[in-house]
Amino acid sequence: MSILDRLTGLANPRVALRRAIHLYDGGKPAEAFPLMAIAARAGIADAEFRVARCYLEGSGVPASRMEGARWLRQAANHGSAEAQALLAALYVTGLAPAEADGKGPGSERLFERDYSGKPDFAAALDLATKAAEGGSATGQAILGYILTSGPKPMRDADAAHHWYEKSALAGCAEGCLGLALSFARRGKREDRIRIASEVRRAADAGLPTATYLLAVLTEHGLGVTRDMAAAAQLYQAAAEKGLPSAQFRLGLALIEGGLVDHDPAAGEAWMRRAALAGNIEAAYFLGDRYAKTQPPDYAEAAAWYRRAAEAGHQAAARALASLYLTGNGVAKDVEEGTRLLRTSADGGNQDAQIDLANLILGGAGEPDDRTSVAGWFEAAATSGDLIAAFNLGLCFAKGVGVRQDEGQAALWLRRAAEGVPEAQYMYARLLQDGRGVAADPSRARVWFARAANAGVLDAQVSLAEMLLNGRGGARSPETAMELFKRAAEDGHAGAMFALGALYAAGQDLPADQTAAQKWFAAAAEHGHGQAQLMLGRYLSKGLAGEHDLVAGRLWLERSAEHGIQEAVEELAEFASD
């Protein structure tokens, strides 16, 4: 700034302001700022507003939100509607420093360039109202937003619509977008064309959000002609302006096809940009994408799931929990997996609630978790989820989160039995034993049969025992043997032992000690204590022709470790010999 400009400015601040505006518009903000400051210090509201903008934008002077807000406050107090509107916007977004309240910044903030706090809608409402009534189209749009999205006591949809209309009439892009959204909230089909028109006005003014919404309307033919190519171009335009939601949609379209030509590499690049810009759906999508590639890249999946989960995405927290519980892509950490499941469950994710409840039923989790389990299952079970009904039945059966109640257990297991094979088996056991319901062997047999046909091995064995002994209906040894063999071949140790016992006793089939020893050995290898006892006897006494005292004693010792008294006694006989 020349000496003449300074002297002229000091003598006449309004002349200084006009000179400053001329310099600023001519691309010389650094020369313009001192003259603006002279006019601002003279109390000229327009100059105060311009100085504030320079500080906020870092134009001609180092950026300072603190100084920008201070000058905005002065301009607002001197009646500048535009300053009132901009200061209201800072309050709405939580960007107004404490000094904007006139309270001073506080010593701990004196040297901070920026400060982000919580929105102050009360201060914003007062300023926006003054700006709106003063004729600021921006202030009218902000006031409409506060009346729409502020705290509930402040909300007034009709008043918001009125201010949006005035703002849009003045050509404010934000007002046009606000008016479109206000019409949309009313939900009237006849407003679709008006909605699209206002969105287009805002998009033509360069508002990225409006461009994105116009793309959505164009993709689905809402108020405009449906045009996939045009929608893709609009998504691209909004994405290139940095709007994360548009980047996500464009990335999805490129990956899945439909709107644009299939280009997974480009789609993933846009998806990454969206995720890194804070779009949690994009981060979750990338996590899923890496988890489901062939072969999966669980480490990369975990990184994206974590980004989404830390931002509050409940499904991502559940997915990340699964990786910790299994040790895929991260070090196995049951405690961290359970914590993440708890976070997701507490956030209302029903799948996570079910997963966490199942962990708790298995003995994991913390004592406080148990109180929530039954409630989660009941909410899902009442809405018709049969798996939840099954788990709720188990909660009542085991007293997890509720008082143990076999009657309630039977009720929920019966409901779940309509579609859950494990519930069919559990309900059949209650009918067989008369727990929670009247004993009814014939009905138990029916439910065991349904579960057995669905492949539940325990049900096959239980049904075989009933058929063999004629409980709940006629005897059918042949069918019982088929069921025992089927379950044994699928690895059921109890079925193996039963076959060994049947061959040993020659019950309903010829006695065959070799076959008996074979099945006892199979069951013993699976950890069946009684089978280990029998195998020990067979080997030590040579009952099937094979005599091996060392091996026999070994199996008796293993049986004794299960607490089987007969094995203990036979080992004592070994010691006395």
Residue 380's pLDDT is what? 78
> What is the DSSP secondary structure assignment for residue 155, as one 8-state letter?
-
Contacts of 334 (CB under 8 A, 6+ apart): 324, 325, 364
Distance (Å, rounded) from C-alpha 411 to C-alpha 421? 16
Contacts of 208 (CB under 8 A, 6+ apart): 238, 241, 242, 243, 246
Residue 7's pLDDT is what? 43
**Contact assessment for residue 139 and residue 85, using Cβ atoms and an 8 Å cutoff:** yes
Q: Omega before 295 cis (within 30°)? A: yes
Residue 2's pLDDT is what? 52
Residue 572's pLDDT is what? 84
Residue 575's pLDDT is what? 66
Report CA dihedral (310, 304, 242, 220) to the nearest 10 degrees. Answer: -100
Q: Distances in Å between the alpha carbon of 416 and those of 87, 128, 155, 354, 419?
A: 59, 57, 46, 15, 6
Residue 89's pLDDT is what? 94
Q: Could you report the average pLDDT of every consecutive run of 10 residues in the chain (577 residues)?
A: 48 84 92 92 94 94 92 95 95 77 40 60 95 96 96 96 97 96 92 95 96 95 94 96 96 89 93 96 97 94 97 96 95 93 86 80 66 75 87 86 90 94 95 95 96 95 94 93 94 95 85 93 95 94 91 93 90 73
Residue 576's pLDDT is what? 64
3-state secondary structure of 119: coil
Q: Distances in Å between the alpha carbon of 392 and those of 358, 361, 399, 414?
A: 10, 10, 10, 11
Q: Distances in Å between the alpha carbon of 448 and those of 389, 452, 467?
A: 19, 6, 11
Residue with tokens 């018709």: 384
- Give CA 298 to chain center in angstroms: 18
Residue 577's pLDDT is what? 58
Helices (H) and strands (E) in the chain, counts: 32, 0
Distance (Å, rounded) from C-alpha 568 to C-alpha 556? 8
> What is the DSSP secondary structure assignment for residue 113, as one 8-state letter?
S
Within 10 A of 104 (CB to CB), how many other CB atoms are there?
A: 12
Residue 112's pLDDT is what? 39
**Following DSSP, what letter does each residue of 26-65 receive, concatenated?**
TT-HHHHHHHHHHHHHTT-HHHHHHHHHHHHHTSSS---H
